[in-house]
Amino acid sequence: MRWYIELDFQRAEHSKRNGENAMNGSRRQLLTRGLAAAAAISTSSSAFAQLAWNRRGQAPTEADYFHGTAFDHGVEYRATNMALIPKEFRPQITSEIIDPEPGRLVIDTREHFLYLTRADGTAIRYAVGVGREGFQWFGSAKVMRKGVWPTWTPPTEMVKRNPDISPATMKGGALNPMGPRALYLYRDGRDLLYRIHGTLEPWTIGSDVSSGCIRLLPEDLIDLYDRVPTGTDVLVMKHLV
């Protein structure tokens, strides 16, 4: 079953024209039982993954979520152990949504999915982790800048929450929480300080986390980056509780 997003795009454009930063909360009503069922399956899949490890007499550690290393643009980084990532959280072709103007990114922060819609009525779905900054903003934007192994400057609010974090700009690399790529969202030429980026914590995919915007597994982010040109439209759904 599929849910229809045209009304949400219309609401987002209406908000943009009127200078509003709000969308109608009825968006939840557009979700079908099929999507809810998918979320339930995803949860059970995570449980099965944990159960498989528990049968070995141990729960997975942070180190277990990595398997070897990979190289990208001269940077060696830890590769994700996909055996611990539920199948529902891996990239896949889906018909869950209908986009009247395909080629956009649709981010459902509540269900923790990012969709790249396509002209044939399908979409590539990626699972995401949603940080504090990620679910505080919603509306329409454009990808106006892209970066490979980008630098990162911690937001002032993040430094205040965690004094152990250095406020200095961190150069791109394997230890940078931005990961191997970043997509920067703008509206009317203004940087919204909203990023689609990577993660050093693959176990957080599919959940809400304390910091960051929209985070993907490094492998998924590299794939998405190559598919999304500058100027791509983005819709971030409201994060309803």
What does pTM read for this prediction?
0.77
Look at the chain and report how many structural domains it folds into. Answer: 1
Predicted local distance difference test score (pLDDT) of residue 160? 77
**Is 197 known to be catalytic?**
yes
Position 228 confidence tier, pLDDT thresholds 50, 70, 90: very high
Residue 23 lies in a domain: yes
Residue 58 lies in a domain: yes
Residue 60 lies in a domain: yes
**Is 213 known to be catalytic?**
yes
> Three-state SS for 20?
coil
> Three-state SS for 209?
coil
Domain that holds residue 184: 3-236
Of the residues 67, 73, 112, 213, which is catalytic? 213
Of the residues 14, 112, 197, 239, which is catalytic? 197
Residue 201 lies in a domain: yes
- Residue 76 predicted with pLDDT over 90: yes
Residue 217 lies in a domain: yes
Residue 241 lies in a domain: no
Higher pLDDT residue, 15 or 235? 235
As a whole number of angstroms, the distance between CA 241 and CA 229 comes to 32
Q: What is the CATH number of the domain that holds 63?
A: 2.40.440.10
- Residue 33 predicted with pLDDT over 80: no
Contacts of 222 (CB under 8 A, 6+ apart): 72, 180, 181
Closest of 36, 38, 8 to residue 22, by C-alpha: 8
